[in-house]
Structure 1
């Protein structure tokens, strides 16, 4: 077994000092490690709470080990490697906490170790690669395709070509090009097929990543592009499990309960969902034993999750922070914010006609999940990468409404909250946003960043302008806010 019930402190070590035993020291010999058959890119809290947890709880034969690589920095890899890959998944619901010690993460590496990544993907024992690199990490443009005019992607492709000529491993910056380098090593070694399973919140994430991989491969090697198209399966997924960033309190709480120090603990909700559509030419774990669903048509489930859950999360992150609220649970219990979410859902539901989605129950369940006081899901965390998230979660529903005439105010409010946040300095790391804020009409220019048509729709601009003014008039200022020196109405 690669998932173990984590004992309470009194069961395991009734006299153990709380600061003396790490997870790695506590169970060095009693935990068997499975062979690596899955490679993951994007090692983080959500991966541990979702794909890793699903794999662990169904791996009764101890067959599915994971070699994981970070998407950006090395901190997570160092932390988990120091614990021999062991980590605890804590599920919190009303009055109930369940702890699972996950033991099938057998390797943790910095994502910049391209040589190790390539060796892992080329290993014939490896059956699939999962990805959690965030929406922005794929570097898709507004049209949902990658562009070689992207300076970071272009730099990686240039380094690839130089490295191939010199027969060395390049220093690659982007997750997709790193993945493709590994796939090329697999093609050159055994040529065995493999499945790629993106687990980020994007519509048609399997085909999108597949197109990007082929397009990038064409830039370096036509034979590689042909092999990817013929031998690599790109599986579409819908993933759902609210997983806040781990805090120091989470680490202390686990230590108090068990006597073990786990720096990699992740706290999540009891609810989880994984819907998949696609083929696995080399096999996969029996994830359905933990509740995963395999479907022929994933599109309705994608829209339901992206538009209702993720869209509501984005609405909360864009608007509730202006009211001085910091978590989802705080925001959804605020009457005005809750009403905005309900109005938003009312506007979305007509565009989700499929009866199998059971939207009335889905909405009730979402409210209960949002209200969970045991999860401190911070709005600031949800707001990261807001431009890409708005394009994926909110703009598609607005596009549906364009054919009907006026776009409902409830659908525009997320955009208005983002614009108000940009004006007070919440998006100060984006040069395009900064330039737009400094223009004579920042509302129009910021809307054009999301979609040029929005900035030219006079009625939508007027609605957004009024909403921005209202948000700014009630804005609860934070120390990091910049001064608002113009009348943005």
Structure 2
């Protein structure tokens, strides 16, 4: 089977890991596409199944803009099962009417092993075995919607490891595994969310969803079987998902990382305050200029993306705490900042990215010396390095945790930039 199939007006989508993000993002797009029904399975807790089934699968969606809320009802779910209802999932995947499986199971869900009792990929493998044994020839698509680079390959590997030999041999001819890039901020619903849905829509909703106006979903364009007409909801299809992942990583995540550290060093606590701080904002713009030069995308697309990012960052009604975003800097900087510095030809050509690294070294030093917690897998090494008195020795030790070798030009650049950072 080759080629890409056109979207169809009807079909069934099975979703694993029904939570706030899926209900604010992928299921909204499926609802707007029209014609498709959804059967969902919960994650760790079965409580969501009970709540949604009691409401006939309907739930309220609150889109929280800077000026006010838009409230609507999403009505696309037929039924919700607890995660451990393996028989229900196997029967659904063996049914030819099921053409797409989407997942939001978090990164840990892909490493849950091969026991169907505890592993979503293992349950999918069982369902695919039943589909093979039933003689279903129509392709089925597995679509990871988790925030992981190369999420389709992660999913493929996990399912194949749990599958029997016959299903592994059958797999490529009958299963498409689709990588995606997803983006929509979805905080927990506040205490007044249910009442707001009731006032605006009349729905007595125990599990409303709150989200931001911005939404983006980019999928690989290689479905051979049926799929919803997601393009009706603004979903993009691409032959180069890696480029879109890189755009998000270097522009959205890179700016978040810079603001998390530089904002706190400058004395602010939230994202909207950081982007509104004149000097921090200037650093973000410099970082964007450098990162954009490494992305092979049209200027108008990059302009639209950074404009949307700034609007999102400035939304005071969805403002995130910088200290939360600041976690795990030793993991984030090597993939968000250091590659841009290298591609730009060194720290002298990437002052905005250098500022992100310097803001991290300054922030962790301040935190350690104030006796405050740092959430990072290398927290012990950070504490030891931050305690060094000599600035060059301290920065050398901190950057060694990012695998920057002693004597690298970045060390001197970071020491110099620390002194230029805006301070509270």
Question: Does the pair score TM above 0.5?
Answer: yes
1:183 to 110, 121, 128: 128
- The residue correspondences of 1:230-245 to structure 2 (distance < 5 A) are 230-245=173-188
- Give the corresponding residue for 1:198: 144
- Give the corresponding residue for 2:59: 87
- Give the corresponding residue for 2:293: 350
Confirm or deny: 8 A CA contact 1:199 1:239 kept in the other structure.
yes
How far, CA to CA, are the matches of 1:79 and 1:457 in structure 2? 58
For structure 1, list consecutive stretches of 5 or more residues without a partner in the other structure: 1-33, 140-152, 161-169, 475-489
Rate the CA distance shift 1:137–1:472 in 2: closer, same or farther, 3 A.
Answer: farther
How far, CA to CA, are the matches of 1:98 and 1:246 in structure 2? 14
Helix, strand or coil for the counterpart of 1:196? strand
Rate the CA distance shift 1:376–1:67 in 2: closer, same or farther, 3 A.
Answer: farther
Confirm or deny: 8 A CA contact 2:276 2:314 kept in the other structure.
yes
Confirm or deny: 8 A CA contact 2:104 2:146 kept in the other structure.
yes
Confirm or deny: 8 A CA contact 1:194 1:231 kept in the other structure.
yes
Rate the CA distance shift 1:425–1:57 in 2: closer, same or farther, 3 A.
Answer: same
- The superposition leaves residues 330-388 of structure 1 with CA deviations (integer Å, 9 ceiling, x where unpaired) of 32212233222212112211102432653233222321222123334444565567666
- Give the corresponding residue for 2:69: 97
The alignment of Structure 1 onto Structure 2 pairs a total of residues equal to 402
How far, CA to CA, are the matches of 1:312 and 1:201 in structure 2? 17
- The superposition leaves residues 155-193 of structure 1 with CA deviations (integer Å, 9 ceiling, x where unpaired) of x24xx4xxxxxxxxx432x54444444434433444543
Confirm or deny: 8 A CA contact 1:79 1:263 kept in the other structure.
yes
Task: Answer yes or no: is 1:65 the counterpart of 2:34.
Answer: no
How far, CA to CA, are the matches of 2:109 and 2:55 in structure 1? 27
Confirm or deny: 8 A CA contact 1:213 1:228 kept in the other structure.
no
- Give the corresponding residue for 1:277: 220
Rate the CA distance shift 1:326–1:438 in 2: closer, same or farther, 3 A.
Answer: closer
Helix, strand or coil for the counterpart of 1:238? strand
- Give the corresponding residue for 1:425: 373
How far, CA to CA, are the matches of 2:233 and 2:140 in structure 1? 23
Using the TM superposition, give the Cα deviation of residue 226 of structure 1 relative to its aligned residue in structure 2, in angstroms. 2.8
- The residue correspondences of 1:296-311 to structure 2 (distance < 5 A) are 296-311=239-254
How far, CA to CA, are the matches of 1:119 and 1:399 in structure 2? 51
How far, CA to CA, are the matches of 1:181 and 1:406 in structure 2? 54
How far, CA to CA, are the matches of 1:256 and 1:386 in structure 2? 42
Using the TM superposition, give the Cα deviation of residue 308 of structure 1 relative to its aligned residue in structure 2, in angstroms. 1.0
Helix, strand or coil for the counterpart of 2:247? helix
Helix, strand or coil for the counterpart of 2:152? helix
- Give the corresponding residue for 1:460: 410
- Give the corresponding residue for 2:255: 312
Rate the CA distance shift 1:413–1:277 in 2: closer, same or farther, 3 A.
Answer: same
- Give the corresponding residue for 1:124: 96
Confirm or deny: 8 A CA contact 1:244 1:378 kept in the other structure.
no
Using the TM superposition, give the Cα deviation of residue 416 of structure 1 relative to its aligned residue in structure 2, in angstroms. 5.4
- Give the corresponding residue for 2:317: 374
How far, CA to CA, are the matches of 1:75 and 1:464 in structure 2? 49
- The residue correspondences of 1:311-460 to structure 2 (distance < 5 A) are 311-321=254-264, 325-355=268-298, 358-379=301-322, 382=325, 390=333, 392-401=335-344, 403-404=345-346, 408-415=350-357, 420=363, 423=368, 424-427=372-375, 432-437=377-382, 439=384, 451=402, 453-454=403-404, 456=406, 458-460=408-410
Using the TM superposition, give the Cα deviation of residue 102 of structure 1 relative to its aligned residue in structure 2, in angstroms. 0.8
Report the TM-score when normalising by structure 2: 0.78
Helix, strand or coil for the counterpart of 2:284? helix
- Give the corresponding residue for 1:42: 17
How far, CA to CA, are the matches of 1:418 and 1:83 in structure 2? 46
How far, CA to CA, are the matches of 1:92 and 1:281 in structure 2? 37
Report the TM-score when normalising by structure 1: 0.69
- Give the corresponding residue for 1:248: 191
Rate the CA distance shift 1:466–1:289 in 2: closer, same or farther, 3 A.
Answer: same
Helix, strand or coil for the counterpart of 1:436? helix
- The superposition leaves residues 371-428 of structure 1 with CA deviations (integer Å, 9 ceiling, x where unpaired) of 1233344445655676665555445434534x5465734324545556645843241x
How far, CA to CA, are the matches of 1:264 and 1:381 in structure 2? 24
How far, CA to CA, are the matches of 1:365 and 1:237 in structure 2? 20
Confirm or deny: 8 A CA contact 2:262 2:422 kept in the other structure.
no
**Over the residues paired in the alignment, what is the CA RMSD in angstroms?**
3.7
Rate the CA distance shift 1:249–1:326 in 2: closer, same or farther, 3 A.
Answer: farther
- The superposition leaves residues 112-146 of structure 1 with CA deviations (integer Å, 9 ceiling, x where unpaired) of 5444444433333211111223456545xxxxxxx
